[in-house]
């Protein structure tokens, strides 16, 4: 039995001698690689935090002491040593454990996360709450250097630095140039500044000089000036010191003994806010992940020996992201005003081709969605055509900027909203099931949703040539069905749906990727002798009043299909439009199929659809039942 197999809680870890921790670290890495190769998941980040996780749980009395993880991509080792080792093979699967920290899952997860830059603010709330309640435990926020680009992180730091509360921020840095300072001198410096006797002597001398004559106070000013000057040269964390946090580092984030020495000293001796800067390597200990950390950040099933991703045996259609990326390259060639913006996701959004082709017109602003949108607004004011590619669940972080900085002045900014609707394994923090609802409130917005490769290309072409304000194109994670029609870009008439198949008893009104579901529903209804028209809605906003009035008058039953919450979504808009355009006596029955008013768990998308009642067979049954009732009247 391995040492790891005997660790069912951090208390078991703390019972081990420190020199045993490198063995546990290796076993943790082997366990991670073995399991994630079977399930897929966020591997590289978690491999990089193995020693840091062990050091934190070894140094602090968790779960009494609170560790808040930022994003949660790097928290797999934390899950394994906090009693979830046996359930770890179920990670990100329906009914299994989440890929992110969730308070409902474990007392060791003290804050639910999934989006970046939140840990400092959340931990500060926990720390101030502790103080107000007279409690004594430690609070630690772990944040990666990428998440530090988010404005929320600096808002939290600013608030923390102006407080006197005891709280530690651990900056997990795997890219910044200051990593060169790791080594013997850094270890010596950290031992010096964490030494209890050194700090007592420094405090005594400081107070002694301050209490003395004018000469003493002058010496104190001189010492502080020299001290600050030296810190600018010696300490890469002078910024944090100036913000009011005591800085320790850089420290080798793969040396458990060094980190434990610092963490224990801080826990026992330090007062007020502290920042500990650790240097780690993404993918540490697995050569394939070290060589290609981007590929292994979020990876599907792979072969551990070679690192090769296990691909489906049959060829698949192109992803919506790749279709978008290729169209951007084509459009960028003929329209030099097109610029592309992403928030730390050039690969995920499909923009690497545009980045390579037009580097001067490509902008990765880091994890800073709000800034991305306002930056795009500035570009639009200069007459450029900014295309902002952001995942649906991340775009909601920039709602205020969309409303105030883009829509208020009717600026021509195009938003390509990737991962709209259910995304599967990453669960409620990453499902894009709210964007139609919150974008419906934006005055003057155009919201489109493609059904295949061709319509996405045409919608993008329409958007970059539109002069009426912000345009949003939402599309799901996954593959786009291929349209065999011509590859030329064609403009689409704003607001106008498209009748695809005729019918007499009902109209199936489908938006975006739910079109294929509606098509299967139509086929099932046909086997029961029910004739239904099939319509590609294309637009969630605006809605063509003439088209829909004719639809409402002609069909006694209309069913809407959307991959968005029903609250404030496309179906809701159709209901409202029907009430506006048709007298109550002549209105059709309207069935709305979509996502329920709740947070949806992680799991296979087909399984999730079945669970929430939008499996094609279930939807066909409901439509047939309602038609049967109407026929009996």
pLDDT at 191: 53
d(CA 147, CA 543): 39
Strands (E), 138-269: 139-144, 167-173, 246-252
Q: Residue 192 — pLDDT band, cuts 50, 70, 90?
A: very low
d(CA 633, CA 628): 9
Identify the residue with better confidence: 394 or 186: 394
The answer to whether the Cα torsion of 382, 367, 422, 104 is positive or negative is: negative
**Arithmetic mean of pLDDT over the chain:** 89
Q: Residue 230 — pLDDT band, cuts 50, 70, 90?
A: very low
Domain pair 4-204+241-291 / 498-632, same fold = yes
The CATH class of 320-474 is alpha beta
**Pair 235, 186: CB distance under 8 Å:** no
Q: Is the pLDDT reported for residue 178 higher than 70? A: no
The answer as to CATH 3.40.50.920 being correct for domain 498-632 is yes
Q: What is the pLDDT of residues 351-363, one digit of tens each?
A: 999 999 999 999 9
H or E element that contains 275 = strand 273-279
Q: Which DSSP letter does residue 83 get?
A: I
Identify the residue with better confidence: 322 or 200: 322
Q: Residue 320 — pLDDT band, cuts 50, 70, 90?
A: very high
Q: Provide the CATH topology of domain 4-204+241-291.
A: Rossmann fold (3.40.50)
pLDDT at 240: 87
Q: Is the pLDDT reported for residue 59 higher than 50? A: yes
Identify the residue with better confidence: 227 or 516: 516
Edge-to-edge strand order for the sheet containing 532-536? 498-501, 532-536, 506-510, 557-565, 589-595
Q: Tell me which residue of 446, 358, 363, 453 sits closest to 406, measured CA to CA.
A: 446
Q: Which DSSP letter does residue 588 get?
A: P
Q: Tell me which residue of 380, 612, 444 sits closest to 517, measured CA to CA.
A: 612
pLDDT at 177: 33
d(CA 597, CA 198): 58
Q: Is the pLDDT reported for residue 135 higher than 60? A: yes
Query: 3-state SS of 514-579?
Result: HHHHHHHHHHHHHHCCCCEEEEECCEEECCCHHHHHHHHHHCCEEEEEEEEECCCCHHHHHHHHHH
Q: Residue 47 — pLDDT band, cuts 50, 70, 90?
A: very high
Catalytic residues, by residue number, are: 282, 369, 397
Q: What is the pLDDT of residues 588-631, one digit of tens each?
A: 999 999 999 999 999 999 999 999 999 999 999 999 999 987 76
Residues 6+ apart with CB under 8 A from 523: none
Concatenate the DSSP letters of all residues of 318-363 into one string: PBHHHHHHHHHHHHHHH-TTEEEEESS-TTTTT-HHHHHH-GGGEE
Kindly tell me the burial class for residue 201, based on how many C-beta atoms sit within 10 Å of its own C-beta (0-12, 13-18, 19 or more). Answer: exposed
Q: What is the pLDDT of residues 539-592, one digit of tens each?
A: 999 999 999 999 999 999 999 999 999 999 999 999 999 999 998 878 899 999
Domain coordinates in residue numbering, the chain: 4-204+241-291, 320-474, 498-632
d(CA 414, CA 448): 11
Give the mean model confidence (pLDDT) for residues 462-478: 96
């Amino acid at each position: 039995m391995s040492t790891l197999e005997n660790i069912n809680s951090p208390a078991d870890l703390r019972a081990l001698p420190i020199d045993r921790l490198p063995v546990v670290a290796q076993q943790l890495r082997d366990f991670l690689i073995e399991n994630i190769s079977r399930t897929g998941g966020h591997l590289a980040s978690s491999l990089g935090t193995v020693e840091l996780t062990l050091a934190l749980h070894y140094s602090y009395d968790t779960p009494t002491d609170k560790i808040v993880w930022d994003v949660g991509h790097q928290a797999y080792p934390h899950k394994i040593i906090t009693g979830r080792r046996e359930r770890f093979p179920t990670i990100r699967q329906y009914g299994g454990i989440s890929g992110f920290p969730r308070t409902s899952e474990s007392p060791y997860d003290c804050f639910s996360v999934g989006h970046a830059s939140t840990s400092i603010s959340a931990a500060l709330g926990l720390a101030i709450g502790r103080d107000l309640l007279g409690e004594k435990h430690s609070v630690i926020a772990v944040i990666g250097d990428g998440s530090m680009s988010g404005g929320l992180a600096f808002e939290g730091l600013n608030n923390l630095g102006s407080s006197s509360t005891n709280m530690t921020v651990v900056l997990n840095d795997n890219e910044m140039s200051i990593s060169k300072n790791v080594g013997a001198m850094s270890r010596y410096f950290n031992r010096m500044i964490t030494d209890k006797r050194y700090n007592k002597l420094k405090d005594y001398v400081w107070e002694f000089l301050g209490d003395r004559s004018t000469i003493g106070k002058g010496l104190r000013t001189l010492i502080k000036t020299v001290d600050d000057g030296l810190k600018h040269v010696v300490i890469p964390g002078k910024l944090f010191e100036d913000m009011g946090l005591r800085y320790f580092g850089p420290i080798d984030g793969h040396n458990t003994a060094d980190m434990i020495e610092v963490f224990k000293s801080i826990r026992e001796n330090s007062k007020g806010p502290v920042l500990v800067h650790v240097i780690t390597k993404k993918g540490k200990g697995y050569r394939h992940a070290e060589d290609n950390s981007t590929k292994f950040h979020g990876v599907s099933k792979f072969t551990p020996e070679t690192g090769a991703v296990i691909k489906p045996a049959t060829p698949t259609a192109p992803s919506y992201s790749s279709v978008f990326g290729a169209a951007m390259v084509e459009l960028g060639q003929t329209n030099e005003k097109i610029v592309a913006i992403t928030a730390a996701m050039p690969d995920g959004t499909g923009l690497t081709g545009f980045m390579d082709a037009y580097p001067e017109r490509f902008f990765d602003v880091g994890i800073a969605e709000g800034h991305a949108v306002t930056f795009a607004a500035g570009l639009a004011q200069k007459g450029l055509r900014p295309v902002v590619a952001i995942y649906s669940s991340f775009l909601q972080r920039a709602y205020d900027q969309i409303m105030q900085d883009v829509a208020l002045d009717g600026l021509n900014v195009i938003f390509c909203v990737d991962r709209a609707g259910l995304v599967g394994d990453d669960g409620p923090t990453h499902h894009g099931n709210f964007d139609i609802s919150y974008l419906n409130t934006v005055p003057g917005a155009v919201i489109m949703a493609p059904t295949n490769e061709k319509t996405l290309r045409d919608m993008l072409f329409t958007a970059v040539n539109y002069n009426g304000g912000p345009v949003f194109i939402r599309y799901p994670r996954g593959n786009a069905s291929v349209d065999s029609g011509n590859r030329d870009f064609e403009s689409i008439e704003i607001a106008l749906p498209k009748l695809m198949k005729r019918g007499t008893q009902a109209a199936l009104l489908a938006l975006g990727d739910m079109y294929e579901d509606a098509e299967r529903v139509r086929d099932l209804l046909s086997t029961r002798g029910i004739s239904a028209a099939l319509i590609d809605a294309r637009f969630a906003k605006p809605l063509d009043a003439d088209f829909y009035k004719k639809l409402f008058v002609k069909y006694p039953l209309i069913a809407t299909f959307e991959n968005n919450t029903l609250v404030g979504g496309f179906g809701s808009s159709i209901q409202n439009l029907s009430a506006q355009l048709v007298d109550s006596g002549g209105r059709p029955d309207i069935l709305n199929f979509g996502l329920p008013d709740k947070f949806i768990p992680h799991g296979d998308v087909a399984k999730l659809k079945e669970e929430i009642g939008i499996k094609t067979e279930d939807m066909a049954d409901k439509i047939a039942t309602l038609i049967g009732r109407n026929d009996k009247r």
